[in-house]
Amino acid sequence: MSQPDSHEDTEQHYRSLFTYNPDAVFTLNTAGEFLQINQSGCDLVSAKEEEIVGQHYAMLVVPEDLERTRSHFEATLAGNHQRYEVRIRNLHGEILQLDVLNIPVIVNGRITGVHGQARDRTRERQTEARLRILERSVEASSNGVVIADAQLSGYPLIYVNPAFERITGYCADDMIGQSCRILQGPDTSESAIASIREGLENMREVHTSLLNYRKDGSCFWNDLYIAPVRDDDDEVTHFIGIQTDISDRIRQEEVLTFQASHDSLTGLPNRIYLESHLQGICHQAFDRQLCVHALFIDLDGFKPINDSLGHAFGDEILAQTARRLEAALPAGTTLVRFGGDEFVALVPGSTDRQAINTIADLILDQFSQPFLNEDVEITLSAAIGISTVKAMPDNSMLLIQQADMAMYEAKKLGGNNWQWFNRTLDRRVQHEVALRQQLQRALSRDQFELFYQPMFNNDLSTVGVEALIRWQHPDRGYISPAEYIPLSERTGQILPISEWVMHEAFARAEELAELGVNSISINLSPLQFHRHNLVNLLARLNDQYSLRPGQLCVEITENVFLNDPKDVIRQLREIRNMGMEVAIDDFGTGFSSLSYMRDMPVDKIKIDRTFVNGITSNDRDAAITRGTLSMARELGMSVVAEGVETEEQFRLLRQFGCTGYQGFWYSRALPMADLQTFIRALESGSRA
């Protein structure tokens, strides 16, 4: 390259370096004022040259960095070049991070100013900060994080975080260069391993749960998520694995599963277990050419023990009772705590009644000795009802119902005895059979109709209605739902009845909206959640009637979560995704679980009328109600207080912070025509 051969060439050479330099270049006089700045510098500070020249550098430097900048400036004037970072604020107000080089300007041996060069490091520093945060987050994460090289055979690890070391017991030195297959063991699910292998081979995400093993040989449940990392060419270079020790959750689920089907007090199977296993127990007996005898056992006079000595005392007596019953029953018997002080024993055996009578006598003998607890002796007796089935009935629970009826007959005779189910008692069953047939005719002959009970707010405005089914029997007139709904739950007829309610509610939603009622609630049976077509049915109706979001609310009871709660929660989430709301009805009277409350996709809680009824006279009912309202607010749920019968209850609930109500004080359930009259009366200001 030729050298500049004249002063003019040198000047042009310098000017070119100054003008076209991609970095900001500037000159300051000894007072710190700008003498010149190139276009890159002007662009950096978002100003024109004439706006900068003559100004002191302090106009740009943030106040916190001003003293340090002055120190570097003075050191440069002393003849020492300086390199440092400084934050400035450009004329748009943006803060930039600059890497600055200061060189003294020397003319004839004298320092006449400072020459500066600045490079914008803002994005680089922001990236570094983000990387530091990400690195710190990974290091501090409670989840195990590993990074594997996707381009080497076996996908060896190149990084593990401290949480991985804590979870697995393997340190980084143990794992770097190794495969995570070292965590697998004899009980690791083959299907989970296959899922991981397939995901890695296809370079896609994997999410699975599997049993892994720590370095000391102990096992843990690992919720594993693997994600590929791609470069700019969309090539997978690494895999990131995130591991979560879910052993506690798995154990808790196992406990919940056991608790859902077993009684926590006695350890015996409970009613849920009985209902789900009774048919199988009968089949096993019939395969062995045996019949099944059901003994329904109810303690005589147990309630006064609870009332006088306390529930803790009563619980101990029930636990002792369970142990005595187990000792008296023959091998192969299924003993169930049916509920309260009721037990059911299913005894496979021959048709010999005398053998069962002997077993019943042995059970009664267990109560001949007093029960002892806390140095207190009590004497109990029991009543036993017995029924038998020799072939699989249409409804296996009929066996239990018959034994239950026989037990009540034994109680009528004074207790401390046993009675067989007989034809006299069968009349009650025949009534239920007749009612069942009449229910079927009611469905086919359109004998049902919906009544609507208004829900209201603090302004006494109707904000929604609950659709309640009514059966107008051709001979008996209106029949109370309390008579046929429990029967329909037992027989499964609740499913077509509930479908009719859903169809009718969807069809009436627009008519209600024209009245200004923008929300209609319907009750769902727990049985509907276990027939696997509920979500599809609601989706079809929603498509057919094009309801607006929030126009329909489904009400469930807490007991719906007793059987397969995870699947129920999944269905509820799908229902909410369709724009429908979910409410828990009769809250506080069923299977309450705070863990489910945390996970349940629920919009609304309906406080049961038993609590509302007592809030004006019972401090505990008031406390429960206030607590429920507080919890609902914290969980982002709305609340409707059911059974508001008086203005005093309404005012107290409003004082507690309630905003939704339902009850006879405002209105009973009304047929559509009467509801229209009621709404119009409200609009005219003349609510009855």
50-72 tens-digit pLDDT = 999 999 999 999 999 999 999 99
Are 579 and 499 in a shared domain? yes
Are 216 and 345 in a shared domain? no
130 falls within a domain: no
> What mean pLDDT is reported for the chain?
88
* Cβ proximity of 243 and 167 under 8 Å: yes
Give yes or no for residue 416 having a pLDDT over 80: yes
Are 464 and 403 in a shared domain? no
Are 102 and 236 in a shared domain? no
Which of 217, 245, 273 is where one domain is finished?
A: 245
Nearest to 118 by CA among 17, 19, 52, 24: 24
pLDDT at position 5 is 54
* Contacting residues for 533 by C-beta, under 8 A, at least 6 apart: none
535 falls within a domain: yes
Are 348 and 203 in a shared domain? no
Are 271 and 376 in a shared domain? yes
HEC assignment per residue over 619-649: HHHHHHHHHHHHHHHHCCCEEEECCCCCHHH
Are 326 and 455 in a shared domain? no
199-243 tens-digit pLDDT = 898 889 999 999 999 999 999 999 999 999 888 888 999 999 899
Are 487 and 572 in a shared domain? yes
Give yes or no for residue 595 having a pLDDT over 70: no
Packing angle between helix 423-444 and helix 398-412, nearest 10 degrees? 130
131 falls within a domain: no
Number of domains in the chain: 4
* Cβ proximity of 512 and 452 under 8 Å: yes
253 falls within a domain: no
137-182 tens-digit pLDDT = 677 678 888 888 988 888 999 888 888 999 999 998 999 998 888 8
d(CA 548, CA 317): 55
One-letter amino acid of 492: G
Site of tokens 């089949």: 283
Token pair of 414 as six digits:
């004074």
490-515 tens-digit pLDDT = 788 889 999 999 999 999 999 999 99
Token pair of 476 as six digits:
């008996």
* CATH code of the domain in which 363 resides: 3.30.70.270
| 55 sits in which H/E element | none
pLDDT at position 484 is 87
The listed range with the strongest mean pLDDT (144-158, 372-386, 453-467, 489-503) is 453-467
* Cβ proximity of 227 and 205 under 8 Å: yes
650 falls within a domain: yes
- Calculate what percentage of the chain has a pLDDT beyond 90: 48
Which of 212, 245, 278 is where one domain is finished?
A: 245
* Segment 255-264 mean pLDDT: 80
135 falls within a domain: no
* Cβ proximity of 371 and 380 under 8 Å: yes
* Cβ proximity of 534 and 528 under 8 Å: yes
pLDDT at position 372 is 87
Q: Which domain holds residue 595?
A: 443-606+637-683
* CATH code of the domain in which 519 resides: 3.20.20.450
**Residues in the chain, how many?**
688
Which of 75, 92, 123 is where one domain is finished?
A: 123
Give yes or no for residue 607 having a pLDDT over 80: yes
- Calculate what percentage of the chain has a pLDDT beyond 70: 94
d(CA 82, CA 126): 24
pLDDT at position 14 is 62
Q: Using CA atoms in the order 629, 633, 635, 639, what is the torsion angle rounded to 10 degrees?
A: 50
Are 174 and 71 in a shared domain? no
The model's pTM? 0.45
Are 147 and 115 in a shared domain? no
Q: Return phi, psi of residue 452, to 5°.
A: -130, 120
* CATH code of the domain in which 181 resides: 3.30.450.20
Q: Band of the pLDDT at 12, cuts 50, 70, 90? A: low
432 falls within a domain: no
Are 210 and 311 in a shared domain? no
Residue 441: CB atoms within 10 Å: 11
Are 237 and 276 in a shared domain? no
Nearest to 396 by CA among 298, 527, 294: 294
Token pair of 298 as six digits:
């109810």
